[in-house]
Structure 1
């Protein structure tokens, strides 16, 4: 039986969430603060933890950090509907949590019922998904480094995903394609033993990649991700070379407040000028735009070396808005410069059709590998189309992107 640990300082929330999960068939334990949650994570050995953010004695941020350093576990954050709650949630996600849910801004019975249903549904998805033990070990290494190198938790925070869709591609361990795939060169198999954080070789603070050859002028990159994605997106932006002068569109399944913060934090870490996308925005080389929550992001036109962007609130696709497919398909239809589509960790199949469209249009396509994807649904579904050129680990994605745009003969494709 799948074990779930509910950590919340509210007795009421522990009771309603715990009862709902028990009725759904889970073995449930509860903790009233982060300190108790850390202890139970060791003794109860849960498969999934639901973690409140703001708690007395030890908050959710510190609890996540300690759990990931000792017992790498799938952690779902419950975020307060405030700016402070948003920022704290992103800090916790930087330390290894996989996903989050926003608490309602009201306490009415309908709001609580909706929250409980969403928690159960998300736990179902996470329990069924192929959550990589290696990716969790990478997160554990991050937590270990944070605790040893930055004792006051002063490190830059990153984000993880929200709004993960239910549906096809949630449990796709070991998925394969008959199409030959080019493996990113120069990478090694990471340690697969969870719980031994220092032994995991995963340099998430690697220096930026250099462009040491001829590359296409003003290329366009589309990055798509869901569950577990923003932490990896942040790592990519830290390494993306400024002299590539790319135009970058990021589609991450997150609600509005979080996409705004994602753009701000990416901008602070990257050599690129990053903003949340606006309707009719002109995106130029060296700039990046993040699709805002609740809006699809399209490429309306490619004039000169700039892209004209379009936002719309059309129906959700694959249950999400923004959808990766919408952005990738529009880019495949309208981008005249060199184009590369990249799909990262996440549940569902959003992005598979977009990868097919980019490949059909003559673009390059990249998928994150299974070992470093916290959830392998989205990359696996893309790989199974037979249209992925390169499969690379998280810390090899930027190298693969640069290789995809080479014009000096180094790119075999």
Structure 2
């Protein structure tokens, strides 16, 4: 059965772009279009879509207000369509409950193919995610779920088995990552004695807004990483969109080499270089996200004696990245997002 898509956008041109993009995919069927938020809310109970693409800037009822009403009444996943001018609003939408976003193509000749591919990939990956309809995604990040009884890897750290003397933490995430990262970073104490490095798959400019949101929501200092800066303890560094982030001689290094796994920044590059520097004093965490980015980097961490944690299937929006790392045999612990937060706070050094 095809995935039923509702397109919500005030631009007839953009509605056609989205519709034409998914027509090539036999797994997706456009069941309706809406020209604004009010039309969308009226159409949802009639059409019963599996997923919605939602424009941010619309007349009558904008994307943010429409999203709030959708999340109040339905468990339907929503993917936002955003532009460079709406970066702050996009980050807000992710906080409210949008599962992901796609940047509108600014240059149709150059960007349309990538837009079409990303759109179809995100729609299908979100719908195929575990329990996507059975449970309100908002609740997944607030501990209101039942933990599975069994898992192939132990779920919680045994007493005395926690990694000791950690000197740095590296975190990788993609789809569903922004909300998960806000949850993790906002619960850290104000003063910690180690640096934390994050790669979140996100386009250029959007990471600036996301870093600012993380910093605002947290007690710890969060910055968008800059090339050449000296790594400081007690700071969280977020890789900027469209740049790979690595660590070299205690400095952040950014570069624009080719995409890895179709993404830039890539988690693997960060994890691998951090492993060579911090060795057995490194903690790696892989969160929700599509694809396999991070698995190779976690293998490097494992080889150097570091410790790896993967988010569990039940609290992941998309289980691609954690699932691939687990399948590769490089994960020490599988945990819910809540348990990752609890154990991270146990492990890190406080000034």
Shift of 1:32: 1.0
Residues 361-402 of structure 1: CA distance to partner in whole angstroms, max 9, x if unpaired?
111111111111010110111111222111111122122224
Residue 29 of structure 2 is matched in structure 1 by 27
Shift of 1:112: 8.0
Residue 299 of structure 1 is matched in structure 2 by 247
Q: Which residue of the other structure, out of 301, 304, 312, is the alignment partner of 1:369?
A: 312
The alignment status of 1:392 with 2:335, answered yes or no, reads: yes
Runs (5+) with no aligned partner, structure 1: 144-173, 187-213, 302-306, 407-413
Tell me the number of residue pairs that the alignment of Structure 1 and Structure 2 aligns: 337
Distance 2:139 2:8 in 1: 19
TM-score by length of 2: 0.87
Residues 50-109 of structure 1: CA distance to partner in whole angstroms, max 9, x if unpaired?
110011111111111221221112211110231xx1111111111111111112335xx5
Residue 56 of structure 2 is matched in structure 1 by 53
Q: Is 1:99–1:227's contact at 8 Å kept on the other side of the alignment?
A: yes
Q: Is 1:225–1:253's contact at 8 Å kept on the other side of the alignment?
A: yes
Residues 234-278 of structure 1: CA distance to partner in whole angstroms, max 9, x if unpaired?
111111123442210010011121111111111122222211111
Report the 3-state secondary structure (helix = DSSP H, G, I; strand = E; otherwise coil) of the residue aligned with 1:297.
strand
Q: Which residue of the other structure, out of 222, 229, 251, is the alignment partner of 1:281?
A: 229
Report the 3-state secondary structure (helix = DSSP H, G, I; strand = E; otherwise coil) of the residue aligned with 1:242.
coil
Residue 297 of structure 2 is matched in structure 1 by 354
Distance 2:239 2:111 in 1: 29
Distance 1:142 1:382 in 2: 21
Q: Is 1:392–1:400's contact at 8 Å kept on the other side of the alignment?
A: no
Residue 165 of structure 1 is matched in structure 2 by none
Q: Which residue of the other structure, out of 57, 72, 86, is the alignment partner of 2:75?
A: 72
Q: Is 2:51–2:123's contact at 8 Å kept on the other side of the alignment?
A: no
Distance change >3 Å, CA 231–CA 103, structure 1 → 2: same
Q: Is 1:73–1:136's contact at 8 Å kept on the other side of the alignment?
A: no
Distance 2:141 2:70 in 1: 12
After the TM superposition, which parts of structure 1 deviate over 4 Å for at least 4 consecutive aligned residues? 111-116, 140-143, 214-218, 403-406
Q: Is 2:202–2:241's contact at 8 Å kept on the other side of the alignment?
A: yes
Distance 1:76 1:370 in 2: 20
TM-score by length of 1: 0.74
Shift of 1:49: 0.8
Residue 132 of structure 2 is matched in structure 1 by 133
Runs (5+) with no aligned partner, structure 2: 143-147
Residues 27-61 of structure 1: CA distance to partner in whole angstroms, max 9, x if unpaired?
31111111221232232221221110011111111
Shift of 1:135: 8.9
Shift of 1:125: 3.8
Q: Which residue of the other structure, out of 200, 203, 206, is the alignment partner of 1:255?
A: 203
Distance change >3 Å, CA 322–CA 136, structure 1 → 2: farther
Shift of 1:329: 0.5
Q: Is 1:218–1:285's contact at 8 Å kept on the other side of the alignment?
A: no
Q: Is 1:96–1:136's contact at 8 Å kept on the other side of the alignment?
A: no
RMSD: 2.9
Distance change >3 Å, CA 252–CA 125, structure 1 → 2: same
Q: Is 1:132–1:372's contact at 8 Å kept on the other side of the alignment?
A: no
Shift of 1:318: 0.6
